[in-house]
Structure 1
Amino acid sequence: MDWSAWHDQYDVADSSMARRLQTVQGRILAALSEAPAGEVKVVSLCAGDGRDLLEVLAAHPRRDDVRARLVELDPRSTAVARERADRADLRQVEIVTGDASLIDHYKDMVPADLVLVCGVFGNITDPDIERTIAACKQLCTTDGTVIWTRHRRVPDRVPRICDWFETQGFELRWLSAVEAGFGVGVHRFAGTPQPLRHGMRLFEFVGSDVLRQAEAAEAPEAPTPRRPD
């Protein structure tokens, strides 16, 4: 996957990806504005080029309160993220080129006030989605916020994702409308953070294309129309 070209789709005016980005940024802005006084810790899994968080932080009145760590495997994307953070003089933002599924990358930054899991759930299997949601109890502080995304193509997993979050002690705060064509969710953690389980892998990033092919192969064949006698 050429992730640089993929991220270029965010620049296409009024595209689904551009509208999803705007929605995510609006939720990030609200979460930062509502965070308690003092330092605000943010971690972002599979952060890409970081534009969802960094573009908000650049102009946010609490930018100097935010300490963030963005983890992304693709070095071209992290190079863009570093350039964007440097240009905005966001000195407390750390860009890590590494496997975002390894929970040790978030050591010393959790429990965080804001956890971003954007562009992840559409690229991993259902068991890994559920495992990652459960692990958010290690990443998120009490009353902290998780912002996540997932496409709404068949099979639409958004309702199930909301159920999985609820099972783990998260309360739904906001969910994009079905008519939007994409899923953006905001959950608040009402429980007590769990200790970080060092060495834990949250998921395997298999990619949406691979998942679609597997789902198509497993779908039952449509019955052959019977010719009238």
Structure 2
Amino acid sequence: MDWAAWHDDYDDPASALARRLDWVRAAIRTWLETAPPGPLTVISLCAGQGRDLIGALAGHPRAGDVHALLVETDPRNAACARDAAGAAGLTGIEVVQGDAGRTDQYADAAPAHLVLACGVFGNISDVDVSATISACAALCREGGTVVWTRHRRPPDLVPVICEWFETRGFARVAVTGDGFGAGVHRRVLPAARLAPGVRMFTFRDRR
């Protein structure tokens, strides 16, 4: 899979990816509007070109409050994210090219107010989805939010993903299924300890 070319579908407003991006950006803006005053921290796993967070923050009155860590393996996507953040004047965004599946990447950023796991759950095994949701209990602070996505192709894992979040200290805020799957869960328990040196997931060569 060419993960830079994979982003091209976002430029087609009729595509499921473009509709999903709009939904995720709206979820991020809703989080911003209800977040507590003061600095806000964000973690984005497999951030790609950062279109979700950067697009949601651009021009937003609270953009300056956000300090974000975007982790992306593909060097082209990471470079695009850096360029887009710079063009939008978002000085609080750090883009790291590295393995987003390892907990060590997030040691200095967790627990965060917002965790983005978009474009992740459809590209990893079910076992790894479960492990990543367990890790979100440490990546996300109490009262924080996780925004996630997953396709609805059979077998539809979205109901199971919701169950996994909700049995691990998260409450459901929103779930959609309009040609794509996406959800928002809020952490209702204190953040767990982030275990060092743990592999949460390994990306597979599929959408």
Instruction: Show the counterpart of 2:191.
Output: 193
- Point out which structure has higher relative CO (alpha carbons under 8 A, 6+ apart): 2
Partner SS state of residue 147, structure 2: strand
Q: Could you tell me how far 1:157 is from its partner in structure 2?
A: 0.2
Instruction: Show the counterpart of 1:86.
Output: 86
Deviations 1:148-199 (A, max 9, x none): 00000000000000000011010000011x3x11101000000111122111
In structure 2, how many angstroms separate the alpha carbons of the residues matched to 1:170 and 1:118? 17
Q: How do residues 61-100 of structure 1 correspond to structure 2 at under 5 angstroms?
A: 61-100=61-100
In structure 2, how many angstroms separate the alpha carbons of the residues matched to 1:71 and 1:14? 28
Which ranges of structure 1 fall in alignment gaps of 5 or more residues? 210-229
Q: Given residue 138 of structure 1, which amino acid in structure 2 is its aligned partner?
A: A
User: Is structure 2 residue 58 aligned with structure 1 residue 48?
Assistant: no
Q: Given residue 188 of structure 1, which amino acid in structure 2 is its aligned partner?
A: R
Task: Name the TM-score, length of structure 1 as normaliser.
Answer: 0.89
Moved over 3 A (4+): none
Instruction: Show the counterpart of 1:135.
Output: 135
Task: Name the TM-score, length of structure 2 as normaliser.
Answer: 0.98
Aligned length: 207
Q: Could you tell me how far 1:207 is from its partner in structure 2?
A: 2.9
Q: Given residue 207 of structure 1, which amino acid in structure 2 is its aligned partner?
A: D
Q: Residue 122 of structure 1 contacts residue 207 of structure 1 at CA under 8 Å; is this kept in 2?
A: no
Q: How do residues 144-155 of structure 1 correspond to structure 2 at under 5 angstroms?
A: 144-155=144-155
Q: How do residues 140-219 of structure 1 correspond to structure 2 at under 5 angstroms?
A: 140-176=140-176, 178=177, 180-208=178-206
Instruction: Show the counterpart of 2:4.
Output: 4
Q: Could you tell me how far 1:34 is from its partner in structure 2?
A: 0.9
Q: Could you tell me how far 1:22 is from its partner in structure 2?
A: 0.3
Partner SS state of residue 14, structure 1: coil
Instruction: Show the counterpart of 1:15.
Output: 15
Instruction: Show the counterpart of 1:37.
Output: 37
RMSD between aligned residues: 0.9
Q: Residue 44 of structure 2 contacts residue 117 of structure 2 at CA under 8 Å; is this kept in 1?
A: yes
Q: Could you tell me how far 1:206 is from its partner in structure 2?
A: 1.3
Q: Could you tell me how far 1:59 is from its partner in structure 2?
A: 1.2
Q: Could you tell me how far 1:116 is from its partner in structure 2?
A: 0.1
Deviations 1:59-83 (A, max 9, x none): 1110110000000000000000000
* Structure whose alpha-carbon radius of gyration is higher: 1
Deviations 1:81-109 (A, max 9, x none): 00001111111100000000011111121
Q: Given residue 169 of structure 2, which amino acid in structure 1 is its aligned partner?
A: G
Q: Given residue 158 of structure 1, which amino acid in structure 2 is its aligned partner?
A: V
